[in-house]
Amino acid sequence: MNYSKINIITSAFIKPETSILIIYTGGTLGMVHDEKGALIPFDFSSILNHVPSLRQLELNLTVISFEEPIDSSNIGPDDWVKIGQIIFENYNDFHGFVVLHGTDTMAFTASALSFMLENLGKPVIFTGAQLPISSLRSDARENLITALEIASSKSEGRPLVPEVCIYFDYVLLRGNRSKKVQSLHFDAFESENYPTMAESGVVINYNTPAIRQIEGDKPLALHSKFDPRVVILKLYPGITREAVKAILDIEGLRGVVLETFGSGNAPTSAWFIDLIKEAIDKGIIILNVSQCPGGRVIQGRYDTSQQLNELGVIEGADLTLEAAITKLMMVLGEEEDQVQIKKRLIEPICGELTLN
């Protein structure tokens, strides 16, 4: 794996339990303007010049940077595996981890990492920025400082937030419940189906009941197999038979995330039902999630979802699209048996869905 590694001591008074690993994958946060005004990645060895207030945290920071920073639009399963391997290989040497990532697909990567890191007992905090760290009005400095503070926070010797989260614009959200909703404002992420886990103001107020608790001290396990032979089929009024058929007939297709209306509703046209049945009969897994940001699928609540229920479409409850597609990829990467696949998809792994 190609990456560079540097150590940064923010203060002469370092406590051994305050070592944080920063993983820089790319994205706006790590950019500065050169003399011609173009954005280029900055050298993290000079991070204290850009964010001098980091010294007040008294942390021992190590930064691992991807050799070539990746725009988040280009990040995929292979990159998720790289991030997961870095955390897994360095897990025992650090108290917490901060992943710097572009905002566009951050919720996808955070969801994937939450499923990959089984028995996680330390904070993995994703953050980024809407403006480069060198910009006067950049949100990068506050996002980075607070993400590091959360990653290093403990209560009675145990991490306060032992799970994968996104910190952005003063709020901490569960990673696999998050969704990017803004591109022009600082409050880029929301979590409609799960409470905010912490809010940053004069102090950081943690919503302790919303945070997953560590169950025992099981060793960290890494899941690193993903099957990308999946698609997202978003329904819309007027969708044609030809469009649906073209998607479901993709050679080698194994799974479909079906984005339906409201609480899981879909057209009842005979052609649509027939195509769904044909796909399921071929062994394609179809997972139903709502198009509504705060939606929940309840198949059979209305007649327009009853037939999906009868055909064997899997009810995705309140999964986000991001969590649904990454979980489907991982489960298909590890399982061949249809019964086991369906069982794993509807069982919560790390708080990504709420059972009825």
Q: What six digits make up the tokens of 115?
A: 């499923």
Q: What six digits make up the tokens of 103?
A: 């905002």
Phi, psi of 31, rounded to the nearest 5 degrees: -110, 150
On whether the CB atoms of residues 127 and 100 are closer than 8 A, the answer is yes
- Using CA of residue 162, residue 90, residue 144, residue 183, what is the dihedral sign? negative
CA 316 to chain centre: 17
What is the spatial distance between Cα 260 and Cα 109, in angstroms, rounded to a whole number? 23
Which amino acid would we find at residue 100?
A: L
What is the spatial distance between Cα 154 and Cα 76, in angstroms, rounded to a whole number? 32
What is the spatial distance between Cα 126 and Cα 123, in angstroms, rounded to a whole number? 10
| DSSP one-letter code for 293 | T
On whether the CB atoms of residues 94 and 61 are closer than 8 A, the answer is no
Question: b or e along 260-284 (b: 16 or more beta carbons within 10 Å of the residue's beta carbon)?
Answer: bbbbbbbbeeeebbebbeebbeeeb
Question: What is the pairing mode between strands 171-174 and 198-200?
Answer: antiparallel
On whether the CB atoms of residues 257 and 282 are closer than 8 A, the answer is no
On whether the CB atoms of residues 238 and 266 are closer than 8 A, the answer is no
Q: Exposed, middle or buried: residue 323 (CB in 10 Å: 0-12, 13-18, 19+)?
A: buried
Query: What are the residue numbers of the active site?
Result: 28
